[in-house]
Amino acid sequence: MKFPQPHTLKQIAEIIGCSYVGADDFPVLGMNEIHVVNPGDIVFVDHPKYYGKALESAATIVLINKSVDCPEGKALLVSDDPFRDFNKLTDHFKPFIAAVAHISESAVIGKNTIVQPTAFIGHNVVIGNNCVIHANVSIYDDTSIGDNVTIHSGTVLGANAFYYKKRPEGFDRLLSGGRVVIENHVDIGAGCTIDRGVTADTTIQEGSKIDNQVQIGHDTVIGKNCLIASQVGIAGCTIIEDDVTIWGQVGITSGVTIGEKAVLSAKAGVSKSLEGGKHYFGIPADDFRTKYKEIASIRKIPEILERLKGNS
């Protein structure tokens, strides 16, 4: 998430009330999670296990809970609670603004686009030409939709990321300041939920088709011309490359990559990245040849046990 205008390190420190290491006028351009940071961004880290990863990332400002040696060319924001202060920054630069109409005055809707009654379109939403938005669709703030997109009833674009920190008093939610981006010629079925990015974009690329009742987590990127069948659940920060087919009730864990032209059969459980160009099934998902060998071996177990019993 880029700020509306550049800020200085001192200005950011004053917003969240923390100390800092670096020049007062050190430039701060935005804030992002570690997997999408760029120079000028703030990244937060609150566990020693991840200090190195944050300090060595592309981010040039590290919001951290301990004063450490600052790498050359970078700056530190030293906070007793980086998670809390990252939320403060999100709330400062991307505050929630209540709606006063079913279609916000700031929304931009293209030519020949049909918005059916009872659809909700939030602030700063952009919808392209020749789209159909069916009844009871909810499109939250800042969502971007291309041309020739169809979205069926009950679908929600832009709900909060499912991202929480466990505290003694309960779960603390990381605020979501990112977007949902739907490119051209995408179809989205009924009852789907596509969460906004925490600081960046959840993206459905051109030509992909999504069936009913599909959940797509924050910051996930679905490539071009993918087919995703009903009741698939895709966790956050997942990369689905182009021309992937995912059949019903597949579950995919966070932070993995599904390679180009992979096919995932129904009910597969994906717990690791999968190479493209292969067919997968099972829990945990594996390619057909490996999985069938595994099944064949399991079927031989009774025979092996009987043989061992006979030899005892």
Report how far residue 226's alpha carbon sits from residue 239's, in angstroms, rounded to the nearest whole number.
12
Q: Please confirm whether the linkage preceding 302 is cis (ω < 30° from 0).
A: no
Catalytic residue among 123, 134, 218, 279: 218
- Which pair of structure tokens corresponds to residue 72? 């050359």
Contact 208, 190 (CB under 8 A): no
**Are the C-beta atoms of residues 257 and 275 closer than 8 Å to each other?**
no
DSSP 47-99: SGGGHHHHHTSS-SEEEESS--PPPTT-EEEE-S-HHHHHHHHHHHHS-----
From residue 18, alpha-carbon distances to 7, 31, 60, 65, 167 in Å are: 15, 16, 17, 10, 21
How many C-beta atoms lie closer than 10 Å to residue 35's C-beta?
13
Q: From CA 149, how far away is CA 153, in angstroms rounded? A: 13
Q: Is 181 helix (H, G, I), strand (E, B) or coil?
A: strand
In angstroms, the CA 158 to CA 219 distance is 11
Residue 62 CA to residue 129 CA, distance in Å, equals 41
Is 218 an annotated catalytic residue? yes
For the annotated catalytic residues, the residue numbers are 218
